[in-house]
Amino acid sequence: MGREAPRHYQVTQYNFDEAGERNTAVAAYDDLVTHHPLANFGARMVDGGLRGVERPERRSHAFIDGAFQEVEMLRTDEYRSLKPDQVLLIKDFILEDRPDSSSTATRAVDVPSPVAGYVSRRDDRNGLVEISDRKDGEVIARVRHLGPIAVDADSFVAYGQSLGTQNALGLPRGAGKHVHVEMDTRYRPQLEGYVNDLASGRLPVQAQWRQGVQSQPAADDGTMRLGQSSERIGDLQRAMAAEGYRSSGGRPLDQDGVYRLGMQGALLDFQRDHGVAQTGNIDPATLRMAPPQAERPADRQDHFEPHRPMPAARPEAPTAPGHPGHPDHRPGLSDPLPEPVNRHALRAPATEESQPLAELSPADRLLFDRIRSEAPTHVSDDVVASAMLAGKQAGIDSADKVGLVAVTGERLCVGGTTPGFHAMVDTTKPAPQLQETVQQAQALDHQRMARDQEREALFVQNSPGRSI
């Protein structure tokens, strides 16, 4: 009797978007959403810094492959085994097996290894297996929440070899069983191939059918991601610096060829300004704007044999004013430019429509600008102003008291830094006109001022030793 036929994994994922939360099918890597999509639904970038992301003090985030992603970096690495500029991209998905049509799907399945390598760490309490490129080498991948684990530390694993059973170890009680993968951004194409192999059945459920399966060769498309380094990244950094782009916080851009997090906002601005898709990746379209540095000085007459004429100089490609370092990018620009991924807190001079904002108190204007910078661009100023007023009424009365700003379903939510302080407005209902909301905010300020003055007068009147 022969072996049973190979069975395909059913690959799904937890998803959250405007339609709500649910599990959705994963047919290929490109179907995977941001890790923890609900907690990161309000992710925004302002002046090169990320806001509205999940627990930024304990988790790292970035903009990779055209989307906000959770990543692992040395700053938040509990194992401290990553290199200073290394970045691991994090993805979650669920594997299920249904042996036959009458069976109930089960998640108690083997998790194949996403790469071949050396097991540099096994943490049974958290169900973690860490794989490096070699003994004492660099971390390639981590898989979490396994239980039990099927491989030993200080051993080699093959691609597709079972690392352990899908579980929820290291998670809070009640968490669902799933696969959690972290992969070095240099190996992002291999991660794509791995997920595609799971979804297509190339890596079947049964271990015996996975023996000898090799990862498919990853095509080099010339794209580099956060955490990578190369001479061409250095060329881009120099071109960006020459055009005035700066790192987050207004610091000068590094020009050492390493793509670090502080460069992300400037890169996204550069891509938008030059008619390139805002992917957050350093791709061939972006590198076209950063010709490589010349490897030798310009040809001179004495480089040629005596009495031989100089070769005709090649005509230089036309450039745009202020952009002498690369070909003219203006033909590729759209009108208007696409919405920026990296927003800037400094707003343009007030137009006639936004003139009421000039009547806000300085504190209220800072509060409005803070909410506006993190709210989606399709949310009108009228709605943002209503959220500002609701925040003031809820005790969130200054910009430094704003925690999370996010759209959840049909509501714009403003969370305070003080637990329990929050406000929300319905984005589907007509909001009061901006002028009306500004007047209500001013009236609220006057009421509070009057109450404060009355309270102060009563305090003085009732204080012992008061003068008569």
Q: In what order do the strands lie in the sheet with 422-426?
A: 402-408, 411-416, 422-426
Which positions ≥6 away from 462 have C-beta within 8 Å?
Answer: none
Q: What is the DSSP string of 279-326?
A: -SSB-HHHHTTSPPPPSSPPP-GGGS-TTPPPPPPPPPPP-BTTBTTS
> Using CA atoms in the order 104, 105, 107, 112, what is the torsion angle rounded to 10 degrees?
140
Q: How far is CA 461 from the centre of its chain?
A: 57
The pLDDT value given to residue 188: 97
Domain 10-209 fold is Glucose Permease (Domain IIA) (2.70.70)
Structure tokens at 286: 């972006």
> What single DSSP character describes residue 61?
E
Token look-up 């004495």 returns: 302
Structure tokens at 95: 């594997």
pTM of the shown model: 0.71
The domain ranges of the chain are: 10-209, 228-289, 356-450
**pLDDT tens for the 468 residues of the chain, in order:** 457 899 999 999 999 998 899 999 999 999 999 999 999 999 999 989 999 999 988 999 999 999 999 999 999 999 999 999 999 999 999 999 988 777 778 999 999 999 999 999 999 999 999 999 999 999 999 999 999 999 999 999 999 999 999 999 999 998 999 999 999 999 999 999 999 999 999 999 999 999 999 999 988 889 999 999 999 999 999 999 998 999 987 889 999 999 999 999 999 999 999 999 999 999 999 999 998 875 444 445 445 566 666 655 555 666 666 666 677 777 777 767 889 999 886 544 444 445 788 888 888 888 998 888 777 766 788 899 999 999 999 999 988 888 888 877 778 999 988 888 899 999 888 889 888 999 999 898 888 877 766 766 665 455 554 333
Q: Is the dihedral of CA 446, 452, 454, 456 positive or negative?
A: negative
